[in-house]
A = this chain, B = another copy of it.
Amino acid sequence: MKKSKFILASKSPRRCELLKDMGVKFDIAVSDINENQVPKDLPPQLYVQELALLKGTSIGSGCGKGHYVIAADTVVVYNGEIIGKPVDDADARRMLKMLSGNTHQVYTGFSVTDTTDGKTASGYEVTEVHFRELDDGEIESYIASRAPFDKAGGYGIQGRAGLFVDGIDGDYFNVVGLPLCALNELMKKEFNISL
């Protein structure tokens, strides 16, 4: 099978949508790394880059030559602590109450691997996100929609939780899961290609 120039090492439907919206053609390959091998007490900008590098290089080695593998990892950080995906309703409730009325950070690490020579480069982007005050009714209704459960920090800005966010400072697409502008700049600088 002839593969596209770009291979996205992610099964996130949100990252796929972003690239599609940009008119980028790509294939998808999902890595099977153990995320626990990266210590959660690393500074967030290193943690997300490490994971992006692990995902990208684990895919890159099996793709054949002539491709660029794009990988990414996104976390929510509140008060200096990495917030993962909620494990149950109570966990989602705790996260949303914590973020309500406050500012948090979203970090996405990204990596690009040239499968011809194995050259790999990485970067990260951080965006400040401010939630207005949420009331219990909207938190419960959002949890009941099951939307929090595959998402870092328990929310997805591109869906119903867009109503929770009254402002951001930085790259919006970074919050969705892939900082397109920074990724494209890295590609131009390090690989002389662009999305």
Q: Which residues of A contact B (CB under 8 A)?
A: 18, 21-23, 132, 145, 157-160, 162-173, 180-182, 184-185, 195
Question: Closest residue to A158 on the B side, CB-wise?
Answer: B21
The answer to whether B21 touches A181 (Cβ under 8 A) is no
Give the number of copies in the complex.
2
Give A181 to B21 CA distance when docked, in angstroms: 23
**Complex contact B171–A167 (CB within 8 A):** yes
Assembly CA distance A23 to B162 (angstroms): 11
Contacts of A157 in B (CB 8 A): 172
How far, in angstroms, from A23 to B164 measured CA to CA in the complex?
14
Cβ A22 vs Cβ B162 within 8 A: yes
A172 — which chain B residues lie within 8 A by C-beta?
157, 165, 168, 172
Q: Can you offer 13 A-B residue contacts whose CB atoms are under 8 A?
A: A21-B159, A157-B172, A162-B180, A163-B184, A164-B181, A165-B181, A166-B181, A166-B182, A167-B171, A168-B169, A168-B171, A168-B172, A172-B172
A181 contacts B160, CB within 8 Å? no
- Sorted from nearest, which 4 A-B pairs have the closest CB atoms? A172-B172, A166-B181, A169-B169, A167-B170
| Cross-chain contact of A168 among B165, B168, B184 (Cβ < 8 A) | B168
